[in-house]
A and B are shown apart, each in its own frame.
Chain A
Amino acid sequence: MIRNIWTIARRDLRAYFTSPIAYIVIAGYMFIMGWMFANILSNFVVENARYTQFNYAKGMSIAEGVIRPLYGNMNVIFLFLVPFITMRLFAEEKKLHTIELLMTSPITLWEMIFGKFLSSMLLVATMLSLTLVYPIILYTTGNPELGPILTSYIGTFLLSGCYLALGLLFSAATENQIIAGAMTFVSGLFFWLISWATQSAGPVWGDVFMYLSLISHFNNFGQGLLNTADVFYYCSFIGIGLFLTHRVLDSFRWR
């Protein structure tokens, strides 16, 4: 079971790093992250200086002024980058006919899906671990709270998992990588913006839209709160995405 999942995950992980995909995604990600970090930090310093100058209470904490905007914006970058990570996972196997190899090997569809999900999660984990340099920089000069940093990482990881599950689903549904990528981005963006309808949709549907929104569940993580409801939501989102992926792949066998 575990061995089969790892066999699949290992190959896909290697494919990321033997092709330019991983390097381009990681480099692009780190470039944008670095740009954001530098600007958020300098804005924070300027703002704080102003606060102290005019004697406004205590000013902003690092958690409020740096951590929250930094990791909040990081999610947007993942929304853009995840389609590039997932679009090839199943679409390419279909194009190359290697799906026939996988489907006629003694592994189950679930092992295949978990393996591919794991490989993309590990790539995201690699990307996230590279950003640990920002908290380290903050610790060398200040004394930020640990809580919001930890929960931000947990939240970002889970939220990226949701995007990845969507990506896996659309990659399974087509053999065209561009379509898979575009659909992943559009659907991810939709689950992001779904909360915009909260005001106009009336009390009941408003709550439903609010609950379904991927981003509304991130707020608590950003503030250092680990809420089981949010964790449950993200995990269910991933679970449903992977389940639908399973149904889609299975349905191809019956045509």
Chain B
Amino acid sequence: MIQVSHLTKFYGPRAAVNDLSFDVKKGEIVGFLGPNGAGKSTTMKILTGFMPASEGTATIAGFDVFDQPIEVKRNIGFLPESPPVYPDMQVDDYLSFTARLHQVPQDQITRCVQSVLEKTSLGDVRKRLIGNLSKGYRQRVGLAQALVHNPKVLILDEPTVGLDPKQIIEIRELIKGLAGDHTVILSSHILPEVTATCQRIIVINRGRIVAEDTLEGLTSRMKKGLLYSLIVKNPTQEGIEAIRQIDGINTLTATGAQLLIEIKPHSKEIRDQVVEVAVSKKMGVLEFSAEKISLEEIFLQLTTVEKTESEKAEALTKRGA
């Protein structure tokens, strides 16, 4: 449904998007994950025909984004970073307007607006001025706008920003429900967001794809550098230093009673050694377990390759805390 090949976008001399290629199949929900400024929004703006790319091509629903922009735009619904709403319009008037903009036939406008109001649970505020709504409602109006003409492809730039937890869950359910009929690309820098909604994840950093896989695939791929948590009763400085000396340990971060131990990738089995040292130093081992690698860590590992050892330790400490 979406094919992107060698997409590049320069802002002046700086490449915001650099040689990006990926495919999205019909009915798939793909998460675009990356830190702020990674090039997510730029890619989305190119896909929606808002701005042209410097190099490369993209096709949506069989139409070229650059040569047939009108056909492409007819097939997409787009929620930009900030919801494109007019504060001086009522919710239902606004949605009728966007339906008309997307050339929904006149006799179907009322029906389309009605159904999207129900989908996004905006029925109660349909007669309110958008300017008087809270941020969360405005975001939902923005989402409703992207859905009202029932497009084949949905491109959502951080769809749950500004929503409260309950609304986030509702919107995620809504997006998940769109899979199959609609092809969805959504971007986020919030990791659980993509875990919760997407079937496939594209991790992007500094304009390049650093990983592209399913959540399971990414997790197993990252199992190489193993992380263990050792909880002790008596975390002596001497004991910690002794463990640190063991060959094969990459970093060791002590926070109170918990020691986070990262073992070097491809290291020989040293777990028993760690426990032996801890026991011999009378630290009082309470628990020794493998940390489940969360998406945060995958993300950090993929996007912070160039970081120094100390910064990495800091990140691990934060995660441990």
Interface residue ranges, A against B (CB under 8 Å): 3-4, 7, 11, 14-15, 18-19, 96-108, 253-255
Contacts and interface: CB of A to CB of B under 8 A. Distances in A.
A97 B86 contact: no
Nearest to B72: A106
A103 B49 contact: yes
27 contacts: A7-B97, A7-B100, A11-B97, A15-B88, A15-B89, A19-B88, A96-B86, A96-B87, A97-B80, A97-B84, A98-B84, A100-B45, A100-B78, A100-B80, A101-B80, A101-B98, A101-B145, A103-B49, A103-B50, A104-B78, A104-B80, A105-B73, A106-B70, A106-B102, A107-B101, A108-B70, A254-B51
Contact of B86 (A15, A103, A107, A255): A15
B298 to A, nearest CB: 31
A102 B50 CA distance: 9
Contacts of A96: 84-87
B1 to A, nearest CB: 17
A19 B145 CA distance: 22
Contact of A106 (B73, B84, B93): B73
B52 A98 contact: no
B74 interface: yes
B318 to A, nearest CB: 33
B85 A98 contact: yes
Nearest to A18: B88
Contacts of B36: none
A18 to B, nearest CB: 6
B304 interface: no
B268 to A, nearest CB: 55
B139 to A, nearest CB: 13
Contacts of B82: 97
Chief secondary structure at chain A's binding surface = helix
Closest 4 CB pairs of A and B: A101-B84, A106-B73, A106-B74, A105-B101
Interface residues of B, number: 31
Nearest to B87: A96
Contacts of B85: 96, 98
Contacts of B183: none
A4 B97 CA distance: 11
B87 A104 contact: no
Nearest to B48: A104
Contacts of A7: 97, 100-101
B111 to A, nearest CB: 18
B103 interface: yes
B104 to A, nearest CB: 11
A98 B86 contact: yes
B76 interface: yes
B181 to A, nearest CB: 20
A3 B104 CA distance: 11
A104 B76 contact: yes
B154 to A, nearest CB: 12
A104 B88 contact: no
Interface in B37-76: 45, 48-52, 70-71, 73-74, 76
A18 B100 CA distance: 20
Contacts of B87: 96
Interface string B1-32: 00000000001000000000000000000000
A19 B262 CA distance: 62
Contacts of A99: 84
A108 B97 CA distance: 16
Contacts of B45: 100
A251 B257 CA distance: 60
A99 B86 CA distance: 11
Nearest to A102: B101
Contacts of A19: 88
Given A103-B50, A105-B98, 5 more contacts: A3-B100, A14-B89, A96-B84, A98-B84, A101-B78
A255 B86 CA distance: 25
A254 B86 contact: no
Highest count of chain B CB atoms <10 Å: which of A100, A103, A104: A104
Nearest to A8: B101
Contacts of A255: 11, 51
Contacts of B97: 7, 11
A98 B88 CA distance: 12
A15 B283 CA distance: 72
